[in-house]
Homo-oligomer: A and B are copies of this chain.
Amino acid sequence: MAMSVSPVRGTRDYLPREMRIRDAMQAIILRTYENNGFQRIQTPIMEDIERLDKSDGGENLNMIFRILKRGQKLDLQKENLTEKDLADMGLRFDLTLPLSRYFANNKAELRLPFKVIQIGEVFRAERPQKGRLREFYQCDIDIIGEETAAAEQELIHTTAKALQALGFDEFTVRLNDRRILFDMIETAGFPKEEVLSVCITFDKLDKIGAEGVRKELTEKGFDRAAIDAFMQIVGNESITLKEIAEYCGDGRAARELEALLESAKELAGGAYGIEYDKSLVRGMGYYTGTIFEIVSPKFKSSIAGGGRYDKMIGKWIGEDYPAVGFSIGFERICEILLNSESLSFDAGQKRMGLFYSDGDVMNDVIRKADEFRAEGYDVTTIRRGKKLGKQIAALENEGFDAVYVYGDEAVKELNR
């Protein structure tokens, strides 16, 4: 009964060699986050389906994996059965929504500001033909309970450190503020209640270009005059944040962003770029203020992204808490680093293969291996086959540091 043995579409099996690098990378990220005063927590992968459906997850709401109800709760006889009748839970599509629920649930036991690390898997029913993963890791830091830009500053500083610790040298943090974006859109003459709809179209600027944006806004039935006014600002490549501030809104958000840009630049000290990007939107519906992402010339899409979501916790408990988060796209940086020639991640411990023969007493072999283990080697015992040379070559190829044949005088160091 031969069955397919591939992982389900959009998921992956990780081989030992790649896993070693992924583990080392996650350890570097975690260490950097902890060193900068963040604490790790964990939320369940399964979440209440209503909570997921009612969240402001933008496009991700269409990509929720739903878990079938079980036992008597599953009523297949019901008339006009819909998807909603069938599922009671879903898999988390990001780490931010679960964090806001977690904070609401546990805030009595948490010290403010709550500086929190989450490293875990998220699930999105992406269309498989896109070649995107449907099950992948995110590495997030968030600060809850800090309303000033000190939070943004710290998230940018810490995320940049993590990327540097991983060996990234060229990257730029792009910043914008949803409030500025909303003001621009309203000032141009779009109706207040359509601001998010305009944002969704504008977010496609990179993909479909200015003409594409103009076309889609026209198709959505917006006023020609509003579209013209809006496209004039966003099409003006030399317009500064100050000029935008003068043009629209009360200018407060722009002044705050200007201050953050200056202070983040000063802290970066030229080690990485900091810049204002008036066309940065970020997909999530829940952002209320600053939004940011990190781009690298080595990779076309962003490698980290985040923003402020001051209204999300209030949805749970009726009381708002300021909150900002920054998420590293772990799979993207893995892809970059695995393909980078300059990178050589060595995950620490020296490795040895210890060969034994059928006649050897197994307990003696194990005790010998334990001696080397106590000396600092990670030792794997291997039964000696007919072609010892081939077996040794395989270990060398895997990056092992030494071999020892049971009974021999000396350890043989491998040339790597």
> Which residue numbers of A lie inside 8 Å of B, CB to CB?
1-8, 11-16, 19-20, 22-23, 34-48, 50-51, 54, 65-68, 70, 74, 76, 81-83, 86-87, 89, 91, 101-102, 104-106, 109-111, 113, 115-116, 121, 123, 125, 134-135, 146, 150, 153-154, 157, 263, 266-267, 315-318, 349, 354, 362-363, 366-367, 369, 373, 378-383, 394-395, 398
Cβ B8 vs Cβ A46 within 8 A: yes
Could you list 4 further interchain pairs (A-B, Cβ under 8 angstroms) beyond the known A13-B42, A16-B40? A7-B105, A11-B44, A20-B39, A46-B123
For the complex, give the distance between the alpha carbons of A109 and B50 in Å: 43
With A1-B315, A68-B67, A74-B83 given, is the CB distance from A267 to B104 under 8 Å? no
Q: A106 — which chain B residues lie within 8 A by C-beta?
A: 13, 15
Cβ B8 vs Cβ A48 within 8 A: yes
Q: Could you tell me the distance in whole angstroms from the C-beta of A210 to the nearest C-beta in chain B?
A: 32
Can you sample 16 A-B contacts with CB below 8 Å?
A: A5-B104, A7-B43, A8-B44, A11-B44, A13-B105, A15-B41, A16-B110, A22-B42, A37-B380, A46-B134, A65-B89, A67-B67, A70-B125, A111-B398, A153-B363, A157-B366
Cβ B318 vs Cβ A2 within 8 A: yes
**The 5 nearest A-B residue pairs measured at CB:** A37-B380, A11-B44, A16-B39, A5-B104, A66-B68
Residue of B nearest to A116 (CB): B16
Q: A38 — which chain B residues lie within 8 A by C-beta?
A: 380
Cβ A362 vs Cβ B153 within 8 A: yes
Q: A76 — which chain B residues lie within 8 A by C-beta?
A: 81-83
Q: Could you tell me the distance in whole angstroms from the C-beta of A57 to the nearest C-beta in chain B?
A: 15
Q: How many copies does the complex hold?
A: 2
Cβ A2 vs Cβ B317 within 8 A: yes
Q: A20 — which chain B residues lie within 8 A by C-beta?
A: 39-40
Q: A74 — which chain B residues lie within 8 A by C-beta?
A: 83
Cβ A37 vs Cβ B369 within 8 A: yes
Cβ B19 vs Cβ A39 within 8 A: yes
For the complex, give the distance between the alpha carbons of A115 and B398 in Å: 14
Cβ B2 vs Cβ A316 within 8 A: yes
Q: A125 — which chain B residues lie within 8 A by C-beta?
A: 70
For the complex, give the distance between the alpha carbons of A383 and B115 in Å: 13
For the complex, give the distance between the alpha carbons of A311 and B154 in Å: 54
Cβ A111 vs Cβ B394 within 8 A: yes
Q: A6 — which chain B residues lie within 8 A by C-beta?
A: 105
Residue of B nearest to A31 (CB): B349
With A5-B317, A67-B68, A76-B82 given, is the CB distance from A150 to B44 under 8 Å? no
For the complex, give the distance between the alpha carbons of A366 and B149 in Å: 13
